[in-house]
Structure 1
Amino acid sequence: MAKNIYTKVLQDTQTKARLGYIDLPHGRVETPAFMPVGTNGTVKGIYHDKVDEIGYKIILGNTYHLYLRPGTEVLEKFGGLHKFSNWNHNILTDSGGFQVFSLSGLRKIKDSGVTFQSHIDGSKHVFTPEKVVDIQGIIGSDIAMVLDVCTPPGIEYRNAKEAWRVTKAWAERSIEERNRLGESFRGNLFGIVQGNFYQDLRKESALTLSEMDFPGIAIGGLSVGESKEQFNDFLSYTAQYITEEKPRYVMGIGSPDYILSCVENGIDLFDCVLATRMARNGGIFTDDGVITMKKAVHKFDERPLQEGCTCTCCQKYSRAYLHHLIKCNEMYGGMLATEHNLTYLYNFLERIKQSIREGRFAEFKKEYMARFYGTK
């Protein structure tokens, strides 16, 4: 039986935004929280110590990638990903379902599981719901995700219904495998809502998974190429049918507008590679929007990236210096930019939480969106 891991501390009076915390094997995570992505056991372009110093208490790893490299034998020898990567806080691992979905022609989905070819060497592998739970047990995931069938927007209803049928069956088998493993599986297994962009399937999926023996629920199948309007509509529609007693997680969300929409709809966790990927290419978060450090306008700019930011770049260097590093493709430029973007997002979430405490989240969202995106 899954234990209760979520405690709600405060509910916003104007929206569904809420404050709470999740108790996990490697410590408490205050929510709402953004989670940096460390696909291969490292957040690209930044030391784990610095991620910790910023304030993050949970990062992501990816089951698909870690299964292929370094492999379960290595991870088992080192006692899991925490010790292997020297990260002492929580780790959430994606099941690999989205990565397998992205392989397109290199995979085949059946009731039993999914057969796929490695993107590395073309070798064939099989993921079953049970195997994915087992792998995440070896990884030592604090939050583990079930194997699901992720579908793109625009597919026919019958295909979406079939994907949800398989996802449900896999969810049931995942719970059985977790229960079979008993105390050797120390993490928390989350279910994933699917249903594509069909309201009846979304509602059925959300209600069904909420009743199943999961300590937390993720909303999958969003941010997969649909319009922003579709995202907002189906996020709001789906979230209303997920129990408020469990933490809610939307996968693959990392821009301020999407984060604000998630918080507004009572979502507690979200993650995305956007902040770190963008940083490596010179894209920088500021309160006035994203600035591109490759542009010549920064060549003589003595200002920090963002006034009041505590990251290394803002405390020690100018926009002009970072512009120089990015233009020269210096590794240090990407590292400074990565630290800044992760610091910015962490502080952004702190500001969101403070606005909820003060009962002005809706006002904060409106003002922030107007400044960041130049909207009224």
Structure 2
Amino acid sequence: MKAPGRNEPCWCNSGKKYKHCHRDIESKPPVEFHAVIQALKSFEKSMKKCSVPISLLHECSSKIINAHTVSKSSSLKAISKDGHVLETSVDSKTSAASKIVIKEIGINKASVFSGFCSVHDKNLFAPIEDGPFRVIPLHCFLVTYRGISKEFFSKNYASKVFELMKTLDRGKSLHHQIAIQAEAGRLGTNNDLTTNDLKYIKSKLDDMLISNDYSGLNYAVFTLDSPPPIMGSAIVGPTFDFNGNEAQKISSSPSQIPDYMAINSFSSEGDGYVVLSWLSEHSKTCNKLMAQFLEKKLTADSLAVFMILLIENFYISPSWWRSLDDETQSLIISLYAQGVEDDTYGDSIENRRPLNFPSIKNILMSPMI
């Protein structure tokens, strides 16, 4: 690629002139590892804020806490071993290709984010923290609201990381500069699209919170006969259905929001729950998925595969994991890798090995389909 003139726009589309952007950047010292760590820590500090609607911010305390998206006392504790669960993560090292790892984490640190103040974390979620979960609109809303607040928080954090990524081409050859800028731009653009979608969805949930009217939220609650050995929270735009076929087309236009579904897996008083929820306006795709699940008479193992494919961070019962044979463990890791390391393949939803998930003892949908 021929370098632009000094006063021409930079090739990286930053909007800056070439002389103020990438000119001579290959001769500058590379970004030191400690500088990256310091920047990430500063992001964490700056991101601490309460996720409630603006009209409720006057009630906030000054203390932002590490809020759990999966309850520590009623859920994580139920599947823990010596105060620890297992978590999925991607081990990215500069000297080797990324790989999926399963490692221990203490339940005090699992599923936390600094997205609520101490007042709102306690008061808002008291109905599902201080008593048993019930399949009623309020409880399903609170589970959904907390999970989506976490996802919105994470996407805003990721946007800062992708901006930081753009600075990592200092001291690199032009070839590497182009590669780094292209990947940072691709990831940033995709993240921005999802962030805008979640901002819209959260605004709808904020309205429900303020009005105490949850009629705009649809849900399907699967009650299991014991705590699910995989717990987590996510919101996704499903691209495949339970037949392994395309569920919907995802547009790259910010004005065309796909149908999103929130997924929450947890336990309460000995029972397990998987709550799938969505805005009423996203019912087309979500209702189709639920109709297929019921028509095919699928089991909780299919729910497990659905969660493994779509939840980016989930927590695993150590006892359950160690009870699985090597082939089943490898299957779970390969399913999780889809969407993390490569594309998600719809036919993966057709589970071919038993995962020994607890049985479904009840399914309740609102509204019924």
Shared fold, TM over 0.5: no
Looking at both structures, which has the greater relative contact order when contacts are Cα pairs under 8 Å and sequence separation is at least 6? 2
State TM-score, norm by structure 2.
0.27
Could you say which structure has the larger radius of gyration?
Answer: 2
State TM-score, norm by structure 1.
0.27
